[in-house]
Amino acid sequence: MLRKRPAPPPSYQEPGLRLWQGEAGTILQRLPRHSVDCIACSSPYYGQRDYGVAAQIGLEADPLTYLADLAAVFRAAVRLLRPSGSLWINLADTYWSGRGAPSRPDPKSGRRRFARPQDGRGSHPWCRPKQLLLLPHRLLILLSAQGWQHVATYPWQKLHPLPDPPRDRLPHQHEWVFHLVRGAYYWQPGADWPLDPIWELAPARRAVRGLTGPARAPEGLLGPPTLATCPPGGTVLDPFCGTGTTLVRARATGRQAWGIDLDPAALEVAQQRLTGPQQGRFG
């Protein structure tokens, strides 16, 4: 009889807070069953940033491989969520451009100027130049096949977005937030549902001290829905926590905050934001 491997020790832990550094799917498989009330994350976008970390999701050569890798993480997360729990996913779409590798570095953001997978050659019918890949909704179909139940889709309309340079289409200035559950009965606070059908929020522009590279979702994006579907004292898990934006809001309102990230530099900043500066470093 095979023994189940024990849960990995957190990279940082104190009452109400646990942070793990490593690959999300691997860690999720070893965490306790039915230990989380709400999972909320801004998932890695396809071909948008290179964090310089091995095994990162988002730089797969083929969009189908990217979707499979992302879906595998949420498949591993199924057993952690309590029957009354919710899953919230923020994800943006992207175009296959086929324009080739960048010709020069970008002094403003080195993590955004690199040989993106969608700038190369790809297989048809997916990878046609200028084709919108529909990645968020293709992921939603994969998760439905895993048994996730889709409750609602909320468009995030970006206020004051960065200019969209293409002139042959309208600006693409929104992202998607999906709400999924495991069954018909999930926890929420009743009639005072604090969400509008369309969320209007400005993108995060303020850099986090100590780490300027990773993308940041606005603080109001996943905070309200997370609190609406996690009871006071419950546990919120972000499997791609980055610098900890979702967890900061959860912990400030009396929830337990669990986070996982592959990038040790991002996770160190998350720890500092959640506990204060000079609380130790991740190896």
Between CA 81 and CA 78 the distance in angstroms is: 6
Number of domains comprising the chain? 1
| pTM higher than 0.75 | yes
Q: Are strands 131-132 and 95-96 parallel, antiparallel or unpaired?
A: antiparallel
Report if residue 210 sits inside a domain. yes
Between CA 176 and CA 36 the distance in angstroms is: 23
Report if residue 4 sits inside a domain. no
Range of the domain at 205: 12-275
Give the side-chain half-sphere CA count within 13 A for 134.
10
CATH number at residue 111: 3.40.50.150
Task: Say if residues 7 and 31 touch (Cβ distance below 8 Å).
Answer: yes
Report if residue 5 sits inside a domain. no
Would you write out the chain's pLDDT as a tens digit for each of its 283 residues? 445 677 788 999 999 999 999 999 999 999 999 999 999 999 999 988 888 888 899 999 899 999 999 999 999 999 999 999 999 999 999 988 855 555 555 444 444 445 788 877 777 787 888 888 999 999 999 999 999 999 989 888 777 766 777 777 777 777 889 999 998 888 886 655 656 666 665 566 544 444 444 445 566 677 888 888 999 999 999 999 999 999 998 999 899 999 999 999 999 999 999 997 544 344 3
Report if residue 7 sits inside a domain. no
